[in-house]
A = this chain, B = another copy of it.
């Protein structure tokens, strides 16, 4: 914070909808409760419980071990993260003496169920999302043995000879992308059946982020670099604001980012804890804020 000569931020607008969503809150609550209740046992998460490094660290401090594969564990308790399990992982778990704490987001479960239903009904299943994201992998795993699955826009264009397609979306996708995929699908398939599985918290957060980005001089999106929904907030904000910074921690802010900024907007992904947002605000206040900085929640 050497460059404290640049002190110009007069107002910080923090998105009301920034931070933990219902599914993430639920997963974290379940994880911390498991740590409290079962401190004698071995506790694992398969992948990061949520895509946020600080939360993962806190759980590690409480003795939770992060494993990459179900095959890495043979006993103890497994906390299933908000993104869900693949069908194969579920089957592998069945044969083991492992207690499962299922913190899969109920909206993700819903998307899995819709996808499974569509595959059984003979639809080509189109999954809109990040192909390698654990949520998409988990949804895909339930349908790929049943019928055709598409996770790519180009594949839709080339799927010329099929009759009906069903679409589900990763819960944190954008409505804009969904419409684009539906639109292309309608050029190829006679019937297109869409289950809008984008969760309402996502839609609200994306909408609010865009509105703030339109008004602010710069926009800070705070959250894990591996968090797809956080990255998407930054992408959306960038359409409306030339100065959008995606950071993981407050300390990443630099003088040049804050130069000439009077009104700063702040939003955060579904996996960003409230304290990370508060820390960011304090950091801006101390480093670049004018004396009587105004912090408002929402526009």
Query: Which A residues are within 8 Å of any B CB, using their own CB?
Result: 175, 178-179, 182-183, 186-187, 189-196
- Interchain Cβ contacts under 8 Å between A and B, 8 examples: A178-B186, A179-B179, A179-B182, A182-B183, A186-B194, A191-B193, A191-B194, A191-B196
| Complex CA distance for A194 and B175, rounded to whole angstroms | 17
CA distance A183 to B175 in the complex (A): 9
CA distance A178 to B187 in the complex (A): 11
Leading 7 A-B pairs by shortest Cβ distance: A193-B193, A192-B194, A179-B183, A186-B196, A191-B195, A190-B196, A182-B182
Collect the chain B residues with CB atoms within 8 Å of residue A191's CB.
193-196
B195 touching A190, Cβ below 8 Å: yes
Q: Is the CB of B196 within 8 A of A194?
A: no
Bound form: Cα–Cα A196–B175 in Å: 21
- Chain B neighbourhood of A175, CB < 8 A: 186-187
Closest Cβ neighbor of A182 among chain B residues: B182
Provide the residues of chain B in CB contact with A179, threshold 8 Å.
179, 182-183, 186
